[in-house]
Structures are given as C-alpha cells and as structure tokens.
C-alpha cells in the first residue's frame, strides 16, 4: 500500500508489507521541507503503531531523526553505492529480531536520497529469510518481491545489484566465501572512453578499501571499490566508471566488468559499448607471470609525481554527515 501525500509533501511512504514500511525523501528537498514532512510522518507512525516501530536509517546520521524517533538504528552508507556485506547482514538480522520479538512490531526503512539503498535492504531481506521462511510468510515475501520489481529495481546501481546477488549466492550455498586475501596487481581498461573532442581521455584511477583510498599497488583486499575519472581541461573531475565487489566471491584470478556492470559507464555514451575493465589478482604480492605484458602503449603517459588537487581529493570524507553527501 502506497500513501499519497498532499501537496507540499516531498516523500514516498509505502507499506511494503503490513509490518515493513519504506519512507524515502528526495535528496534535493529543502531541509525545512524534510523536517516538516518527517514530523508529520512521525506523528502518523506513533498514532498508528505507538512505540512498536523501529527506524532503520540508511542515510547519513540525522540528530532530528533520532530525537523524533528514539528507536532508530543508524546504518547508513553512501548513496548509489553498495554496503559492505557484514553491514547488510547486520541490518537483515536486526529487522528479523525486531519483527520476531512481538507481532505488533513494525520496521520503518528510512532513506533520504536514491531509493536504491531501500532496494538493497528489501531484496537482501527476502534472501536472508529464505532459509527460515514459513508457509504463512509467503504473502509477505510476494509483496516484498513485487515492491522490489515495481518500485526500486530500476533505481539500483550495478554494484548494488551485484552485492544482492553475492549475498543470495552465499546464503543459498551456490558459492563459498573465499576467506584468503587476494592481491590486486593490474587494472586493464579495454577501449578508450571519448571524454575529449580528440577522442581521448586523461584518466585517474583510485582504489578504495572500506571507503579509504589505497595508494599502494598490489594491496590485499576484501571489499574493494575502483573509481576512474577524467581530468577535464576545466580542471574538473568527470566520472568514467566505478565498480564495487567483494573478493570473497571472486572465483578466479581475473575479474571482468562489461559496460553495463559499471556505474557511470553504463549510462554514458562516451564509454564505448565494447569497452570493459579487467582486474588481475594473485594470492600474494610477488610479481606474477605475464606482468611484463601490462606495459602502457607509447601513446600513454603516466605522471606518478602529480600534485594535482583533483587526483588527491578524497571523495569519501565525512560520508556519515550532511557535508559528505557529494561523492
């Protein structure tokens, strides 16, 4: 059931099931509008569910949200990104424990920004409860799947869908978690993105582990994010691609992402349709066989001593505060 709000409201409130409610606010709405809408939603929740609801906050921490709703669990991560696997498992377990504690308990999933984060939680919770689902939960599970298909699936990024897939495969036993660390040795970009009138680009590559930028090559990883951006002539950053994945689900020493598998690139005509990104790993930091073939061509120059502020800007500072929204 979706509740349509009167004019002047900027939010989407949906009863995914009788006991799971999704509330989302647009990122660009004025703070005054957000707080006014939040107060009205809080009044509605308290009148309908008294103190029997738990708020799962998927956005940055908001003092006002916690003041209005003391039972708030802050679990946020950056918008349009996938959460760490342990975080999504903790969220699913918290939802399950709260709902099982009392038949009157309901869960409110709160998000300000893209609805993809709500999609991650709903779809992962369906997979999480697959193991212990009873026959009388079939209707709720159907409702959650319908909400996912109709409302949020199309709004999720490739990496968000990838992490949902990984969790599903791990829970179903289709793949086993690889607990041994892998070492990233090489990132190969196949196809030249056309970010310049001359048909070239000036890429800068960043590797993140746990939202912290890693500058050392051959680094042991688990949750990994690779970002690549183009340095334009206006001294601005223009995103080329971004991918997130977990090495625990990597079954070989080479991982290839097609255009549709990467954020930014999947919707950018400047990235060639045949383009792809290949990552090469090994079990150790030692130089591996065949690495002599990874040399850049004569047309590629690399400035390892660059002091350009664009290349050194860490775009994940203060990710849990309002100041860190721009990523």
Active centre residues (catalytic): 111
Residue 241 C-alpha from the chain's centroid? 14
Q: Which two three-digit tokens encode residue 191?
A: 């196809």
The angle at the Cα of 78, spanning 325 to 59, to the nearest 5 degrees, equals 80
- CB-based contacts of 8: which residues, under 8 Å, 6+ apart? 33
Q: Which residue has the tokens 């045949």?
A: 274
The CA distances from residue 261 to 154, 195, 209, 243, in Å, are 14, 20, 19, 8
The CA distances from residue 308 to 198, 303, 313, in Å, are 23, 10, 9
Q: Which residues pair with 245 in a beta bridge?
A: 224
Pair type for strands 12-15 and 2-3: antiparallel
Q: Which two three-digit tokens encode residue 108?
A: 């409110």
What span, in angstroms and rounded, lies between the C-alpha atoms of 238 and 230? 5
What span, in angstroms and rounded, lies between the C-alpha atoms of 98 and 79? 25
Q: What is the crossing angle of helices 116-128 and 138-147, to 10°?
A: 150
Residue 249 near residue 175 (C-beta atoms within 8 A): yes
Q: How many CB atoms lie within 10 A of CB 258?
A: 15
268: three-class secondary structure by DSSP: coil
What span, in angstroms and rounded, lies between the C-alpha atoms of 169 and 250? 12
The CA distances from residue 250 to 13, 202, 210, 247, in Å, are 37, 29, 17, 5
């Amino acid at each position: 059931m979706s509740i349509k709000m009167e004019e002047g409201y900027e939010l989407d409130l949906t009863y995914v099931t009788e006991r799971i409610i999704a509330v989302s606010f647009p990122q660009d709405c004025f703070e005054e509008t957000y707080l006014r809408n939040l107060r009205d939603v809080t009044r509605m929740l308290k009148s309908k569910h008294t103190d029997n609801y738990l708020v799962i906050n998927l956005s940055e921490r908001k003092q006002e949200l916690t003041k209005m709703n003391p039972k708030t669990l802050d679990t946020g991560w950056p918008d349009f990104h996938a959460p760490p696997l342990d975080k999504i498992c903790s969220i699913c377990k918290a939802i399950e424990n709260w709902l099982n504690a009392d038949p009157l308990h309901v869960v409110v999933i709160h998000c300000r920004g893209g609805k993809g984060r709500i999609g991650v939680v709903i779809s992962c919770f369906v997979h999480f409860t697959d193991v212990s689902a009873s026959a009388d939960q079939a209707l709720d599970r159907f409702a959650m799947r319908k909400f996912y298909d109709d409302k949020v699936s199309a709004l999720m990024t490739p990496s968000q869908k990838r992490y949902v897939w990984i969790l599903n495969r791990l829970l179903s036993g289709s793949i086993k978690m690889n607990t041994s660390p892998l070492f990233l040795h090489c990132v190969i970009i196949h196809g030249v993105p056309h970010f310049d009138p001359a048909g070239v680009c000036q890429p800068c590559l960043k590797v993140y582990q746990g939202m912290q930028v890693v500058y050392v090559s051959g680094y042991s990883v688990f949750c990994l994010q690779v970002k690549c951006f183009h340095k334009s002539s206006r001294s601005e950053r223009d995103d080329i691609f971004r991918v997130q994945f977990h090495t625990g689900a990597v079954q070989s020493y080479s991982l290839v992402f097609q255009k549709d598998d990467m954020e930014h690139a999947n919707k950018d005509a400047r990235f060639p349709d045949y383009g792809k990104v290949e990552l090469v790993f090994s079990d150790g930091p030692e130089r591996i066989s065949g690495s002599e073939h990874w040399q850049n061509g004569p047309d590629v120059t690399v400035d390892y001593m660059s002091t350009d502020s664009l290349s050194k800007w860490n775009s994940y500072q203060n990710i849990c505060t309002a100041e860190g929204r721009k990523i």
